[in-house]
Amino acid sequence: MSEFQTICKTHDIPEGTARMFVVGETQLGIFHVNGEFFALDNRCPHAAASLAHGLIEGESVYCRIHHWHFSLRDGTRLDEDCPNSGARCYPLRIEGQEVQVDLGD
């Protein structure tokens, strides 16, 4: 069963930006792009740099350290040479003005 937790309010993340949140031991990057919200593991799988502090381009983000490129929709690594090393993506929903994420196990 899903257990969604409120992470923030929608107004906490302006359009076209991202914020990092810590829930327990999990660092989340919450992104607000084109009127939608997305949740990824905030740590780049390569060098653990913050994806929330990366460069947002369309529905993707580039890690600011080594420029690995990830889809905000599903965490897939978009670089042609290594598509199998993506960032974990979390289910997210909006309830009223609350951004809620299911961290799963």
Task: Tally the domains of the chain.
Answer: 1
CB 91 within 8 A of CB 102: yes
User: Is a pLDDT exceeding 60 seen at residue 1?
Assistant: no
Average pLDDT, the chain: 92
Q: Which residues contact 67 (CB under 8 A, 6 or more apart)?
A: none
Q: What is the pLDDT of residue 48?
A: 83
Whether the pLDDT of residue 84 is over 80: the answer is no
Distance separating alpha carbons of residues 61 and 29, to the nearest angstrom: 10
Show the beta-strand stretches assigned E in the chain: 4-9, 17-23, 26-33, 36-41, 55-57, 60-62, 69-71, 89-90, 92-95, 98-102
Q: What is the CATH number of the domain that holds 8?
A: 2.102.10.10
Domain containing 59: what range? 4-102
Q: Is the pTM of this model over 0.75?
A: yes
Residue 32 is predicted with a pLDDT of 98
